Chain A
Amino acid sequence: MKDRFFWKNFIEKISKKFTHLDFEMVALENKTGLTRFAESTIHQNVEESDLELSFKAINGNRMGVVKINSLDDNVLLGSINKAIELSKIMPELDYPYHCVEPQNYYPVNSFFKDTAQLSPMDRSRIIGKMVKKINQMDYDASGALENGMETMVVANSDGVFAFHDKTKVDFNCVINKGNSSAYRSLISNDINQLDFEKITEELIDTARMNVDQMEIEPGTYTAILSPDAVAEVLSESDYAGFDGKLIEEGKSFIAGKQGKKLFPESITIFDDPFHPMTMSIPFDFAGYPRQKHSLIKNGIIIGGVYDHFTALKHQKKCTGNTLSPVNASIGAISFNLVMQQGEDSLEELLKSTKYGIYISRFHYVNLLDPMSIELTGMTKDGTFLIENGKLTRAIKNMRFNISIIELLQGVDMISSERHVKPGFVGPVVAPYLRTNHFTFSSKTTF
């Protein structure tokens, strides 16, 4: 992996070679390994070394963008010349453009040597140990364990030079026997934060409960959502509702609603890069510092997140949420969603529920209506009936059609316990929550 000094020299070399050229550059270099297992066998096992370099030549209000994955001189210089050539013939943007000026970044440590050094054999041994225990309980295991390191460099001709390296470990596992199944996922910068023995026990406990599933009728129920399910709800809401580009175009449910109280006092959601549970990067893909930003505070809509381009176009402030050049046309997404915790334990959420449904996980969630953030999807790997404060029966999977606005408006309890789960861009820090408004629309057969 190339270090800070390599990239510093690289930028200087470009600046010397192409004097008077305004440019922006984003480089992502990664080394990643992933071991996949199914039916208790490792069936896919891969390692990858790659680089993605996006170079934007800026010619007043015109620009040319090229992306390459090789730093060979002939490829690199040819591509920069291509970007310059394109910047001369492109139509002008319909708003005045300028690069980000040099910024200060809050230092973040997200590189962990043990994670970077985890070898394919280490991954096999971790998986082998889990699989053995799960097989002893007569279940099969499927899943993936991924580890890797990534370097992110953002630079421009106005003097921005931002360098960050990080590691990541991502694990998911389903265990099953017939229709009995359970799922867990973990994500962290640090392999030492993952407790594989604990997760194995949890998987077996859940799967043992998830048997003899009964059917229930579609309808609106009180439901307790696990952090996996909550993370999905938050990610979809953020994508469809809090992107500044959608807000400016009038295509978001929060357009014109900033400052209005739409949700209970207990609902507070941040994009918080410095939360102790999250996985941070110090800057966005334009070179803006990442910042803590309220999306919803005490039930009141505060505002969305803005990327560099939408901010310039609509004369707004960039919130440090610019996406990678490949995804730039989407607008902005929160990198570090965090939902404020409540005061109750999961046991208290359950105990105080007379009749309801516990949802472990969703499957194939899709947006039906962006203005109400109405979602559809299925439940999966453990849906349970709650009766008189206890999980009493497993339930067959159900389809839900539900507005996230109504779901959040119905929230009356939030757990103090939170977990880190994968999100669309970065991780999501999510609690358990209880809502009195969760609508199932149809059933399936298992």
Chain B
Amino acid sequence: MRKILKNILDYLELKADYADVRFVETDRETIEVENGALSSFNVSNDRGIGIRVLVNGAWGFASTNELRKEELLRTAAQAVEIARASSIVKKENIKLSPVKKYIASYVTPIIKDPFKIDAAKKIELLIQATNLMLKDKVTKTEGSLDFWKTHKWFLSSEGSEIEQSIFESGGGIAAHAIKEGEFQTRSYPASFEGDYATSGYEFIEKLKLSENAERVAHEANKLLMAPVCPEGIRDIVLGGSQLALQVHESCGHPAELDRVLGKELSYAGGSFLTLDKLNHFDYGSPMVTITADATIPGGLGSFAFDDEGVPAGKTYLVKQGRFTGYLTSREDAVKLGQKSNGTARAENWNRIPLVRMTNINLLPGHFELDELIGDIKDGLYLDYNKSWSIDDRRLNFQFGTEVAREIKNGKLGKFYKNAMYQGMTPEFWQSCDGIGKEKYWHVWGIPNCGKGQPGQTMHVGHGTSPARFRNIKVGASR
């Protein structure tokens, strides 16, 4: 493959000021079980080549699934033609921040290749877990497993040649308790099909789906009978799973520099973290430190090099409450006089790299969970996301959670259903006065972060431990 890609670069040598070519081949296996019966077992293989060029100071990109030489050269010529077309509507030439030339390879460290585990064993795991949930008289149970093996080559006209093989595994279960006019869902280990990691099948074994099945079903039934969450201003503790999405929506997305520069305005929106705020804005309380770190072992947003050939790294987005950094690509970093911090990622061979989250992490604090809860007189413990929405500058947000537990005089109490909380991003993070210790910290994998036109779905991670927030507006959906 390296030779095929090199031939394309050779063809482009005199035609483009810069070029990179990426080959991506993805094997995927998805298993879904409902109520103890298999509903789907899909395997897929997808491969192709994407060619990106800079000509006349503008980008062109063309991609193809056909790997014949003549088709690849046609695609390369098309990329040049597209760049020329781009160059007729521009204000200035695109410049790229410098990056060293790398000749490197990387493979996700795994113990058990998920594609070599017997299909029957994987199906049986889900059948067992979904049947166990049915014992508790919930009406509908679901379980799913998902595995990816992505083999990538990146070659650039600057001399880099990088080969990576990324393994990803994930899964989860959910129980739906239904009565006339209402249903309640409890999920494990996280909502929306579970938790994910760059890992082998050992990650699935550690999830212990069957061991948690009956508890999850019991809680779904309990929620059905629970009172609706009362409205008011309360102190809250967010569990790690919900906090992961809070970090994602209210820190990760607004820190994407392309959004800040207006490049996503017509689709995903802009950002309140405007350039004047860098190093001058109190994003949160002094307890709040947030990093973008693609080097965490097992994080779903972990890799060795991004899709522009920039090494994975760690960047402080928020340091002790102060806003200190953006997620950047080579092209956008130039605007800040910086080098890219390695967060330009493409979903596949047929998509261009965009500024994307890697693992965006709220660093752990020094509190025991009992201490976080113990210092609340009248509040709520909220976890497991049910709904999310945030305005296009990432200020006004509203999240719903599967679970709400009353906190009275420092103790966890009854369940509430249909809970949601609302706020404005900086005020919310400034109200944070306690974060759980490292022993509670976990990197949650979110495999469905959407951005861009044409749409790109990215796999990202969020390290969190439970945290406490004061005076938050809470309420309930109906």
A208 within 8 A of B: no
Which segment, of B265-273, B280-288, B302-310, B372-380, faces chain A?
B265-273
B43 within 8 A of A: yes
Interface residues on B, range: 35 or more
Tell me the nearest residue of chain A to B396, going by C-beta: A444
Total chain A interface residues with beta-carbon distance under 8 A: 88
Is there an interface contact between A368 and B400, defined as CB atoms closer than 8 Å? yes
CA distance A67 to B473 in the complex (A): 47
> Top 9 closest A-B pairs, CB basis?
A67-B44, A368-B477, A444-B396, A120-B85, A142-B266, A142-B265, A124-B85, A94-B37, A42-B86
Cβ contacts under 8 Å, B59 to chain A:
43-45
Tell me the nearest residue of chain B to A370, going by C-beta: B183
Least Cβ–Cβ distance between B39 and chain A, in angstroms: 6
Q: A37-B89, A399-B391 are in contact. Are A329 and B39 (CB under 8 A)?
A: yes
Q: A364-B389, A378-B391 are in contact. Are A46 and B352 (CB under 8 A)?
A: yes
The dominant DSSP class at the A interface is strand
Is there an interface contact between A328 and B387, defined as CB atoms closer than 8 Å? no
Which residues in window 20-50 of A have CB below 8 A to B? 32-50
Is there an interface contact between B391 and A363, defined as CB atoms closer than 8 Å? yes
Partner among A32, A39, A249 whose Cβ is within 8 Å of the Cβ of B178: A249
Partner among B40, B84, B265, B350 whose Cβ is within 8 Å of the Cβ of A176: B265
Is there an interface contact between A45 and B86, defined as CB atoms closer than 8 Å? yes
Is there an interface contact between B395 and A444, defined as CB atoms closer than 8 Å? yes
Is there an interface contact between B85 and A363, defined as CB atoms closer than 8 Å? no
Is there an interface contact between B396 and A442, defined as CB atoms closer than 8 Å? yes
CA distance A371 to B177 in the complex (A): 13
A82 within 8 A of B: yes
Q: A35-B86, A45-B86, A249-B140 are in contact. Are A365 and B63 (CB under 8 A)?
A: no
Cβ contacts under 8 Å, B352 to chain A:
44, 46
A117 within 8 A of B: no
B383 within 8 A of A: no
Cβ contacts under 8 Å, B418 to chain A:
368-369
Is there an interface contact between A42 and B43, defined as CB atoms closer than 8 Å? no
CA distance A183 to B60 in the complex (A): 26
CA distance A66 to B422 in the complex (A): 43
Is there an interface contact between A376 and B389, defined as CB atoms closer than 8 Å? yes
Which residues in window 45-98 of A have CB below 8 A to B? 45-51, 64-70, 75, 79, 82, 86, 89-91, 93-94
CA distance A235 to B222 in the complex (A): 32
Is there an interface contact between A41 and B391, defined as CB atoms closer than 8 Å? no
B205 within 8 A of A: no
Chain A 344-380 per-residue mask, 1 if CB under 8 angstroms from chain B, else 0? 0000000000000000000111111111101011101
CA distance A444 to B390 in the complex (A): 10
Cβ contacts under 8 Å, A123 to chain B:
85
Chain A 403-415 per-residue mask, 1 if CB under 8 angstroms from chain B, else 0? 1000000000000
CA distance A415 to B452 in the complex (A): 33
Tell me the nearest residue of chain A to B79, going by C-beta: A47
Query: How many contacts A-B (CB < 8 Å)?
Result: 247
Least Cβ–Cβ distance between A44 and chain B, in angstroms: 6
Is there an interface contact between A249 and B453, defined as CB atoms closer than 8 Å? no
B58 within 8 A of A: yes
B457 within 8 A of A: no
B244 within 8 A of A: no
Is there an interface contact between A444 and B391, defined as CB atoms closer than 8 Å? yes
Is there an interface contact between B395 and A445, defined as CB atoms closer than 8 Å? yes
Least Cβ–Cβ distance between B33 and chain A, in angstroms: 9
B388 within 8 A of A: yes
A394 within 8 A of B: no
- Beyond A69-B65, A128-B88, A251-B140: 18 further Cβ-contacts under 8 Å? A37-B89, A38-B262, A41-B90, A45-B83, A50-B65, A66-B45, A68-B45, A124-B86, A174-B266, A183-B266, A249-B176, A250-B139, A370-B183, A378-B389, A397-B391, A401-B477, A441-B398, A441-B422
Cβ contacts under 8 Å, B86 to chain A:
35, 42-43, 45, 120, 124
Is there an interface contact between A251 and B176, defined as CB atoms closer than 8 Å? yes
Chain B 79-122 per-residue mask, 1 if CB under 8 angstroms from chain A, else 0? 10111111111111000000000000000000000000001100
Tell me the nearest residue of chain A to B66, going by C-beta: A49
Cβ contacts under 8 Å, A326 to chain B:
42
A337 within 8 A of B: no
Q: A90-B38, A328-B40, A377-B389 are in contact. Are A124 and B88 (CB under 8 A)?
A: yes
CA distance A446 to B183 in the complex (A): 36
CA distance A226 to B391 in the complex (A): 19
A8 within 8 A of B: no
Is there an interface contact between A444 and B424, defined as CB atoms closer than 8 Å? yes
Is there an interface contact between B453 and A144, defined as CB atoms closer than 8 Å? yes
A140 within 8 A of B: yes
Cβ contacts under 8 Å, A143 to chain B:
266
Q: A174-B266, A250-B183, A251-B176 are in contact. Are A46 and B89 (CB under 8 A)?
A: no
CA distance A363 to B269 in the complex (A): 9
CA distance A443 to B391 in the complex (A): 10
Q: A86-B41, A444-B424 are in contact. Are A50 and B140 (CB under 8 A)?
A: no
Chain B 4-27 per-residue mask, 1 if CB under 8 angstroms from chain A, else 0? 000000000000000000000000
Least Cβ–Cβ distance between B359 and chain A, in angstroms: 23
Partner among B46, B183, B263, B396 whose Cβ is within 8 Å of the Cβ of A371: B183
CA distance A398 to B388 in the complex (A): 16
Is there an interface contact between B43 and A65, defined as CB atoms closer than 8 Å? yes
A125 within 8 A of B: yes
A325 within 8 A of B: yes
Is there an interface contact between B47 and A70, defined as CB atoms closer than 8 Å? yes
Is there an interface contact between B90 and A91, defined as CB atoms closer than 8 Å? no
